């Protein structure tokens, strides 16, 4: 088994050195022991011969506490999952790459951060997504529920659009939008002209077709957006 005294020690050291921030002013980059480059991208890399962690994300997302929580949860879940795996030719690897999106102005618009999560520890590599969205005017997070007006039915508009994109790739895989339910739309980014939805690999498409991104013009959602 992969769990050895040395590895347990390494896991413990990693957990201590990358503990979540304890104050609102702490950055996610500092909390994970990363370094910030001239491009304002945080990079943190761990390779202790038991597993590999490689995170890269912009440092300007407004809600650093939420970002820290997401990244540390992803890290901890991954380590917990692979710690009892048998030895493999290549060490398990978790790659997280963040990309920022904006709409409106810096004072009254929105800011989004989409994390592309690459997990190379199972039978096949899998790509999933996690997004964070923030209202810069109200200083609150935006969720799928708060993105739209209360009482509106956004899925009545979204489902046909997404289904058309799925059909362009040969139809659904093992799961459909009905199978996924409201959770299907939890990862999204807001831009001036569209809302982009991100669907995990092994979600709406077959594994070999990979993950799916669907860009929905804001004109299609104009009567629904809050």
Q: Is there a single domain that holds both residue 102 and residue 152?
A: no
What are the CA-CA distances from residue 223 to residues 4, 40, 109, 157, 220 (Å)?
A: 57, 36, 18, 11, 8
- Per-residue model confidence (pLDDT) at position 3: 36
Helix crossing, 5-17 with 64-82: angle to 10°?
Answer: 180
Q: Is there a single domain that holds both residue 13 and residue 54?
A: yes
* Phi, psi torsion values for 44, nearest 5 degrees: -135, 130
Q: Is there a single domain that holds both residue 27 and residue 123?
A: yes
- Per-residue model confidence (pLDDT) at position 85: 79
| Secondary structure (DSSP) of 120-151 | ESSSS-EEEEEEEEEETTTTEE--HHHHB-TT
Instruction: Pull the structure tokens for residue 100.
Output: 């920022």
Q: Mind listing the pLDDT tens digit of every residue in the chain (226 residues)?
A: 333 333 433 443 444 343 333 333 489 999 999 999 999 999 999 998 789 999 999 999 999 999 999 999 999 999 999 888 777 768 899 999 999 999 999 999 999 999 999 998 867 899 999 999 999 999 999 999 999 999 999 999 999 999 999 999 988 888 899 999 889 999 999 999 999 999 999 999 998 999 999 999 999 999 999 9
């996610």: which residue's tokens? 28
Q: Is there a single domain that holds both residue 147 and residue 114?
A: no
Domain count, the chain: 2
Q: Is 147 left (phi over 0), alpha (psi -120 to 50) or beta?
A: alpha
Host domain of residue 208: 143-226
Q: Is there a single domain that holds both residue 81 and residue 15?
A: yes
Q: Is there a single domain that holds both residue 134 and residue 147?
A: no
Q: Is there a single domain that holds both residue 28 and residue 56?
A: yes
Instruction: Pull the structure tokens for residue 175.
Output: 């799961």
Closest CA to 220 of 196, 200, 187, 204: 196
């Amino acid at each position: 088994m992969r769990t050895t005294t040395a590895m347990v020690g390494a896991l413990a050291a990693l957990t201590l050195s990358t503990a979540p921030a304890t104050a609102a002013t702490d950055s996610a980059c500092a909390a994970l022991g990363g370094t910030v480059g001239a491009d304002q991208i945080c990079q943190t890399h761990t390779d202790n011969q038991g597993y590999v962690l490689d995170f890269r994300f912009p440092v300007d997302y407004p809600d650093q506490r939420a970002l820290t929580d997401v990244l540390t949860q992803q890290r901890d879940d991954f380590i917990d999952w692979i710690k009892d795996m048998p030895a493999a030719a290549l060490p398990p690897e978790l790659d997280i790459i963040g990309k920022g999106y904006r709409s409106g102005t810096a004072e009254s618009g929105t800011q989004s951060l989409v994390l592309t999560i690459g997990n190379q520890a199972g039978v096949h590599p899998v790509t999933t997504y996690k997004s964070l969205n923030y209202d810069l005017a109200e200083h609150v997070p935006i969720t799928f529920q708060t993105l739209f007006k209360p009482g509106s039915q956004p899925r009545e508009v979204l489902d046909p659009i997404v289904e058309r994109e799925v059909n362009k790739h040969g139809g659904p895989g093992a799961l459909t939008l009905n199978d996924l339910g409201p959770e299907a739309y939890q990862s999204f980014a807001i831009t001036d002209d569209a809302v982009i939805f991100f669907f995990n690999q092994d979600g709406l498409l077959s594994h070999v077709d990979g993950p799916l991104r669907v860009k929905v013009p804001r004109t299609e959602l104009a009567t629904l957006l809050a």
